[in-house]
């Protein structure tokens, strides 16, 4: 098995000075052929010059904006030829053993992605296992289990999780590309695009595994913040557009889909923000509906089967 650690950077010079050497050490500790690739998106703080001078052995891809997260990940995945790609932002810190627990999971032909524990600076859990809830408003809702729990007392048993964050998880490279990566309809910042990608993987019969023995820590330095890529000043509006697209492009169960649109009609009549979000999402309806139909023709699991595995239905 081979792997590539892909580090995403945008004006993260301070973060790279602190985090790059430990990241390289983590790659060496995997015991595999594990390459390190840095993908830079238009940095103006000297990040690339620093890398060429201090870490000349690290391969660098320099991309020019405007390019969204979806574009960065796809370019990186196609630029490597390894079995697994691990995407992290330059602002994340890796310990010597952070990557090693990922790879045994990929010997299972059904595994799409593996997710580490994400820790705060105080060594408490920021994000770990997440559940997918189809809620009473007719939307998919994320529930993160045990946030704030001390990592030292965290249960270290691998288990299913809804989604793999695009800037902090390991992916089976061929399966990532087979799904087309993140759909551009979710915008440059790909809000809810990672949830969409993983939900599609679950419906194809693949799985996403939470591996708590692997961890990454967020540092206070700027390194890569997908929120800076949002193309609209109203972040909440773009977030709602992503939630709408997540349902519209994936849900095939007729009862759940009907319930969503019934509830959505009430929201759109009374809330201006919902109407605007619906207009933005509707602009890509044709291509997302086509993808939904194509996915349905090859799906191995129904919506209800997926939700039983990684969450629940609250109606």
Q: Mean pLDDT across the stretch 97-126?
A: 95
Give the pLDDT score at 96: 95
**Ranges of each domain in the chain:** 2-229
Residue 197 to residue 219: CA distance in whole angstroms: 27
**Could you read off the pLDDT of 81-95 as tens digits, one per residue?**
999 999 999 999 999
pLDDT at 315 over 90: no
Q: Mean pLDDT across the stretch 153-167?
A: 94
Fold of domain 2-229: Spore Coat Polysaccharide Biosynthesis Protein SpsA; Chain A (3.90.550)
The runs of H, that is alpha helices, within the chain are 13-28, 47-54, 69-79, 173-178, 193-203, 235-248, 254-270, 272-282, 285-298, 303-310
Give the pLDDT score at 40: 94
The CA dihedral of 197, 25, 217, 107, to the nearest 10 degrees, is 40
pLDDT at 122 over 90: no
Q: Mean pLDDT across the stretch 266-295?
A: 90
Residue 311 to residue 145: CA distance in whole angstroms: 11
In the structure, what pLDDT confidence band is assigned to residue 271 with cuts at 50, 70 and 90? Answer: confident
In the structure, what pLDDT confidence band is assigned to residue 224 with cuts at 50, 70 and 90? Answer: confident
In the structure, what pLDDT confidence band is assigned to residue 229 with cuts at 50, 70 and 90? Answer: confident
Average pLDDT, the chain: 94
**Could you read off the pLDDT of 35-82 as tens digits, one per residue?**
999 999 989 999 999 999 999 999 999 998 878 899 999 999 999 999
């Amino acid at each position: 098995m081979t792997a590539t650690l892909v580090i995403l950077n945008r004006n993260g010079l301070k973060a790279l000075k602190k985090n790059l050497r430990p990241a390289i050490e983590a790659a060496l500790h995997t015991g595999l052929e594990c390459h390190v690739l840095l993908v830079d998106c238009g940095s103006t703080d000297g990040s690339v010059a620093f890398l060429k001078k201090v870490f000349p052995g690290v391969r660098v891809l320099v991309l020019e904006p405007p390019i969204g997260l979806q574009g960065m990940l796809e370019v990186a995945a196609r630029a490597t030829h390894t079995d697994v790609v691990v995407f992290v932002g330059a602002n994340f810190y890796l310990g010597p053993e952070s990557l090693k627990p990922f790879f045994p999971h990929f010997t299972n032909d059904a595994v799409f992605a593996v997710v580490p524990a994400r820790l705060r600076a105080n060594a408490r859990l920021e994000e770990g296992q997440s559940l997918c809830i189809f809620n009473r408003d007719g939307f998919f809702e994320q529930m993160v289990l045990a946030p704030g729990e001390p990592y030292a007392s965290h249960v270290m048993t691998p288990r299913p999780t809804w989604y793999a964050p695009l800037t902090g998880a390991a992916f089976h490279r061929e399966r990532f590309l087979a799904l087309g990566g993140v759909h551009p309809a979710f915008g440059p910042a790909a809000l809810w695009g990672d949830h969409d990608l993983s939900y599609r993987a679950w419906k194809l019969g693949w799985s996403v595994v939470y591996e708590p023995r692997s961890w990454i820590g967020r540092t206070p330095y700027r390194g890569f913040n997908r929120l800076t890529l949002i193309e609209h000043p109203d972040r909440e509006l773009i977030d709602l557009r992503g939630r709408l697209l997540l349902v519209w492009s994936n849900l095939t169960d007729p009862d759940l889909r009907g319930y969503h649109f019934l509830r959505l009609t009430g929201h759109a009549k009374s809330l201006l923000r919902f109407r605007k979000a619906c207009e933005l999402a509707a602009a890509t309806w044709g291509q997302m509906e086509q993808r939904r139909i194509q996915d349905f023709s090859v799906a191995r699991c129904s919506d209800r089967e997926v939700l039983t595995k990684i969450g629940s239905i609250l109606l």
